Amino acid sequence: MTVASRPVLAQACFAPSAMGSMPASGNRPVQVCTGLTPEEWRAVATQWPSPYLGAVAGTAAAASVDSSTTTAASTTDSTTSTTSRRRQPGETLTTQSLADTTSTSTQTSTSTGGYGQPTLFHCPTTGLGGRVFGRRSMLDVIDLTDVGIYSLGRYVVAALLNARAGRTPVLSETGVRNMWNDLVNRGYYEPTAGAKWTANEIVTYLQTTMS
């Protein structure tokens, strides 16, 4: 891959299960991660590793359709114009709305919003359950700057891309999916027995895998 035009930076990183049980002796084998941040992946959106599709060179990305405004959204071609309801400033994710994002709902979206369009955040290709971002694409979500689960979304996108590109030996694509899916299903992610990570704590961990 040639997605990083900057000098390769690396840092020591650990699997999620190791973060809460670091030995005082410091003799745990150190792994090295060279993950890119959400901003860096956004800057090279035409070079995302397959099967994830970011921006396609020479084509305009169509706007994603939020599931809250349509129940049967479909894309006809790359020139179709759609509108999307964005989360209003100050709107927060309530306990009830978090429960509504569980992966028990049937996902009918395809892997992309249409031919040559970015991969949807919630689709079989990503394996990310729930309905938090409706039919927004990975490219849409990586641009979000809100806090909590909305911030987590952009870091999950970057983490999936990093894992696929082989930049995070301590965190696989399956591991990233488990973090997200556990959070939307149970309200927390449990890296080890008794440890319960919130969205913000998952973000903090994912940042340790990015240079």
**Does residue 113 lie in a domain region?**
yes
- Using pLDDT thresholds of 50, 70 and 90, give the confidence band for residue 111: low
**Does residue 189 lie in a domain region?**
yes
How confident is the model at residue 194, as a pLDDT? 86
Query: How far is the C-alpha of 97 from the C-alpha of 132, rounded, in Å?
Result: 9
- Using pLDDT thresholds of 50, 70 and 90, give the confidence band for residue 147: confident
Tens of pLDDT, residue by residue over 150-204, are 999 999 999 999 999 999 999 999 999 999 999 999 999 999 888 899 999 999 9
How many domains is the chain partitioned into structurally?
1
**Does residue 78 lie in a domain region?**
no
How confident is the model at residue 22, as a pLDDT? 45
**Does residue 116 lie in a domain region?**
yes
Q: Please give the residue range of the domain that contains residue 116.
A: 1-71+96-211
**Does residue 52 lie in a domain region?**
yes
**Does residue 85 lie in a domain region?**
no
**Does residue 48 lie in a domain region?**
yes
CB atoms within 10 A of CB 25: 6
**Does residue 173 lie in a domain region?**
yes
How confident is the model at residue 56, as a pLDDT? 80
Dihedral sign, CA of 140, 142, 148, 149? positive
The reported pTM is: 0.69
pLDDT (average), residues 78-87: 36
Predicted confidence (pLDDT) at residue 128 exceeds the cutoff of 70: yes
Predicted confidence (pLDDT) at residue 210 exceeds the cutoff of 70: yes
What percent of the chain stands above pLDDT 90? 50
Q: Look up residue 111 and give its two tokens.
A: 């892997």
What average pLDDT is seen over the chain? Answer: 73
How confident is the model at residue 27, as a pLDDT? 55
Q: What phi, psi does 175 have (nearest 5°)?
A: -60, -40
Tens of pLDDT, residue by residue over 37-70, are 999 999 999 999 999 999 886 654 433 333 333 3
pLDDT (average), residues 73-95: 37
